[in-house]
Structure 1
């Protein structure tokens, strides 16, 4: 039975992910979902402007304008709110089915429950939380989304790197066995870095210009993978390096596998998965690509089979591309749709 009306969602935080979610919703056109409100501290004129024009993803594919306190997208009104606190919005009056929390500022269960107590029925977070207990589930679409509890109120969409890596690791662990995993994330610059050296962050490396250096930063990727794939617990290490590009990142993944294999076998497994169980989430290529070729690519991961190497013959190295903004925003919408379509207690 179809839902009697479009599902009503709201966005809390309207930065890179929030704006990509709204744009992806309109570009896809396959979701019975309507954004009815967004909450951000930016002024409405800036919100309208940055919705229309995006340096990374281009012009919005539709009509965008302000009308009083509303943002109109192809004539459809979105209430634009400006509250620094969850309690400052009358969420009940908005009659929403789901809130997408895209500010990244709420990372504990206590913080997340503030939205529930303020009248939000369900919250999907655009980041991993500080502990597994902080949410009712952490989901990677295509891997464990079907395990969502019917009484869930707080759910994490994990991270862009977790969405990229977990399907691959699960597949290869089942096929050839993984003994140890080492991952280096090569990640585009982010807004917690300054354009020029500045007093910008407690991490002193992140006080340096984002566009003059490659900068090592901390990452919780190993912990995030172990939450989704506990069978690999204690066998994963990860580090991250920010590089001077504005979008599209890559994972350099090194795997010690349990049996002899070859680059041909590994590539065949990944190519088959891209055409089969992970179609739409995983892609595969052997063309001579550069990172910018994957800007605005909706997949969670794109395996560059031309870079697959096997040494030993049990040491496997992979290069996997992903649009850290667009791919993640699309997975957030996939999880949102799945959750909205499930009966809740």
Structure 2
């Protein structure tokens, strides 16, 4: 069965979501019939065809002035600021993929429901009043047919939560600190410029390592309530355009060693989390994971254990492509709950 999908916001994640539908095998069930983006259709078409990070779109892309044309599919391109005016009812939209990043609250999401969409899925962490926050492969069993507003978490929660869940079950995590080493994002200037809220983000993204605020520890608390209050998190942006790294430090109750930690994670990567969690012992650099669709890849060569109870891990993740694929996994699983 094919479901009608609309994308609201056509930035980095919106573009990756559309590409992944055609490249990763979701097209049979998820048909994009509309996208809402304030930019003009020439720009939308151009940014669909060409992408510095992910390369050219693999099939022909064109437009007729109102519709984006991809591989025989016609996708209506809208440019509407007010969600109340979007034609989701007349287009019979089953699901809005909310990729604008401009809001995360239930009331704003509800405007898309009032416009006729059956459901909405956030591409970012949302407020606690949404129906569920889902990390695919960890808690997607919580999806229900009668839910209307769901969040797919973040690229970082999708990477770290399965890892923490595995290690907590085996070793009992007492506390932890995470540092996300993240590629530059489009809220940063190429050269120094003004920023509305954060003075650090006025600085050139291509010339500095820049600390920014993060709520990853709150995401861990929400998704793994048994670990609530046990984590602190840091986040720095680095001058690369894609692929990020989670540096994870854990204090565990059960004495362990690097081989045991790696064995726990490798077995899961080859078994129940295959395709979602990866494990490697090759000498990698970040670029090797560009367009890797997995949520995270444990670098076993970097695992360290100090004193039997202090663990250090490094996990790679493609913060664009990996997360876009997880968002679509959630969308497909949710829609099929009908």
Select 1:26's aligned residue among 22, 42, 54.
22
CA distance in 2, matches of 1:115, 1:146: 25
Quick check: 1:182 aligned with 2:154? Answer: no
Q: Report if aligned partners of 1:14, 1:102 keep a CA contact under 8 Å in 2.
A: yes
**Structure 1 residues without counterparts, runs of 5 or longer:** none
> Which of 326, 330, 334 lines up with 1:331 in the alignment?
326
TM-score, structure 2 length as denominator?
Answer: 0.98
Spell out, residue by residue over 1:318-337, the C-alpha distance to the aligned partner (whole angstroms, 9 max, x if none). 00000000000000000000
Alignment gaps of 5+ in structure 2: none
TM-superposition CA deviations, 1:183-230 (whole Å, max 9, x none)? 000000001100000012310000100011000000010001111100
- Matching of residues 271-282 of structure 1 within 5 Å: 271-282=266-277
Compute the TM-score of the two structures, normalised by the length of structure 1: 0.96
Distance of 1:306 and 1:206 partners within structure 2: 33
Q: Of 128, 131, 142, which aligns to 1:132?
A: 128
Alignment of 1:220 with 2:215, yes or no, is yes
Deviations 1:211-254 (A, max 9, x none): 11000000010001111100000101101000000000000000
Verify the 8 A CA contact 1:137 1:149 in the aligned structure 2: no
How far the C-alpha of 1:116 sits from its partner, in A, is 1.0
What is the CA–CA distance in structure 1 between the aligned matches of 2:115 and 2:254, rounded to whole Å? 53
Structure 1 runs, 4 residues or longer, greater than 6 Å off: none
Match of 1:198 among 175, 193, 204: 193
SS of 1:91's equivalent in the other structure is coil
Equivalent in the alignment of 1:13: 9
Q: State the Cα distance separating 1:115 from its structure 2 match.
A: 1.0
Find the aligned partners of 1:285 and 1:203 in 2 and give their Cα distance.
Answer: 36
Which position in structure 1 is the counterpart of 2:62? 65
**In structure 2, what is the Cα distance between the partners aligned to 1:310 and 1:96?**
50
Q: Which of these residues, 132, 140, 152, is aligned with residue 147 of structure 2? A: 152
Deviation at 1:68, TM superposition (A): 2.6
The one of 92, 97, 101 aligned to 2:98: 101
Instruction: Give the corresponding residue for 2:49.
Output: 52
Is the CA contact (8 Å cut-off) linking 2:211 and 2:236 kept in structure 1? yes
Moved more, 106-115 or 163-172: 106-115
List per-residue Cα deviations over 1:280-333 (Å, max 9, x = no partner): 100000101000000000000000000000001100000000000000000000
| C-alpha distance in structure 1 between counterparts of 2:104 and 2:225, whole Å | 21
Q: 1:269 aligns with which of 244, 264, 269?
A: 264
1:164·1:300 contact (CA, 8 Å) conserved in 2?
yes
Q: Secondary structure at the match of 2:90?
A: helix
Q: Please give the secondary structure, in 1, of the residue aligned with 2:14.
A: helix
Shift of 1:29: 2.1
What does residue 292 of structure 2 align with? Answer: 297
Which residue of structure 2 aligns with residue 40 of structure 1? Answer: 37
Partner of 1:114: 111
Once residues 315 and 184 of structure 1 are traced to their aligned partners in structure 2, the CA distance between those partners, rounded to angstroms, is 16
Separation in 2, partners of 1:259, 1:339: 37
Equivalence for 2:83: 86
Q: Answer yes or no: is the 8 Å Cα contact 1:90–1:119 preserved in 2.
A: yes
The offset of 1:157, in angstroms, is 0.5
Cα distance in 2, alignment partners of residues 26 and 95 from structure 1: 21
